[in-house]
Amino acid sequence: MALLGGLVMLSGCGGPAAVSLPAGKPNVVLIIIDALRADKVGCYGASEDASPELDALARDGLRFSRVVAQCSWTRPSIASIVSSRYPRSIGMYLERDQALDGRFDTLAEALEASGYKTIGATSNPHLNSVFNFHQGFDVYLDSNVVYTFMRPGGDQRPFKSTKVKSAAEMFETILELADEPSDGPRYVQMLLMEVHEWCRNANALTRDEFRGRFGGRPYSLYLDALRQVSYDIGAFVEQLVAKPGWENTLFIITSDHGEGLGDHPGVEKSRYHGRLLYESQLMVPLIFYHHGRRFPIQQIDRPVRLLDLVPTVLDYVGVAVPEGLDGVSVLPWVRGEEAPVDLPDYFVAETKLRGHNKIAVYSGDWKYIENRDGHKGVNPRELQRIGARENGHKTDQIAKHADVAGAMAACLRDWEQKHAEAAPISCVAPLSQDEIDQFRAVGYLE
């Protein structure tokens, strides 16, 4: 079947009768958990009890059950999230110095223009001000500088060594800023790195009390990190809504991309993210929780894109949606209406990380991927079933379903003709050696 088309499938919810969407503009808090794949979260079917606080927010809120990211690594994906445009539409491809073009309005800018006070904070340097992710924020807190490696090539001059900031540290700062008076509603945006840093050894962010909880399970360190950040988010939500002026707050919890972990053993360099467009790296959670309110439904089972977040949120809070966005509002579904939404039949994602070059089309039953990079373990063109664990050419179905692949390839050709690659925008100033070393420290810039 096609990914979309027809009427939305919605799941009912128990508990008190739902109320209509709130009058006036609520505060909005967007929490992005870097590298969190959906299927490791309890409310998305994970068997481990690694996310009880997130699961509780989903039970009391609204869960989108199938959400596709538009890229499998951070900077292009989050640029796409906050601008509601494809990475190629904003010229975001590579790691070193490509910045968010200021001519594309962000969610923060749209909310600021409508009277919101805006606060942003990132633990990941990919969202630092040097890349123009601070646009639209009254207050923006960059990632702290990170140096964990010696210089390559035998140069033993030491570097300042520190961890990226933890969620608990960031939440403490945000809670302090939340006490400042405001004449209007507030928008808070945060990127958290606990899950991303799961394998960083001494530089991982997991506290001792959360280590070893999932011993014996594959990739238990990943689950430990998730358990901690879920706990910290739960505590943060509870503390924030207890503050005057924050009683009416919409919390949005999602991720920029997933993580390969051990799902694709036959594919080279598939353990982490950015190099593949499989479900492990593109399927992310998306939870809406509006404190003190009930959504008419608990779950939306129709697939959506991270592209669709901005127009949906703006619609929800009563702010005009800018023209020209690649995403669309799915507010009718949030309201529980069985109404069509103008989403495409196919979802497209791309990545161009460290010499890798891939583009994918997701439908309801299939994902068609063109590997334009000679990646070992995968065919140049592959067709994989939705919901099946992909393992490169070993699970490739293209020979058996050439007609399906042909139709999806034709769709991709048409999409690429309609979506030209925009020229990238460089940082205002070149990255310093310190900044380059910072990205190496968190696993980027080999």
Mean pLDDT of 222-245: 98
**Considering the chain, what percentage of its residues have pLDDT values greater than 90?**
78
Please say if the pLDDT value at position 20 is more than 90: no
385 vs 373: CA distance, rounded Å: 22
pLDDT in tens, 342-368: 999 999 999 999 899 999 999 999 999
pLDDT in tens, 168-215: 999 999 999 999 999 999 999 999 999 999 998 888 999 999 999 998
Q: How far is CA 329 from CA 235, 303, 305, 342, in A?
A: 30, 13, 10, 8
Find out whether 87 and 79 touch, Cβ atoms under 8 Å: yes
pLDDT in tens, 309-355: 999 999 999 999 999 999 999 999 999 998 889 999 999 999 999 89
pLDDT at 428: 59
Which string of DSSP letters, residue by residue, matches 291-332?
A: TT---S-SEE-S-EEGGGHHHHHHHHHT-PPPTT-SS---HH
pLDDT at 130: 83
Find out whether 348 and 68 touch, Cβ atoms under 8 Å: no
pLDDT in tens, 79-108: 999 999 999 999 999 877 788 999 999 999
Residue 59's pLDDT band (cuts 50, 70, 90) = very high
Of residues 218 and 60, more confidence is placed in 60
Return the closest-CA partner of residue 182 out of 246, 111, 251.
Answer: 246
pLDDT at 440: 62
pTM of the full structure: 0.89
Hey, what domains does the chain have and what are their CATH numbers? 26-343 (3.40.720.10)
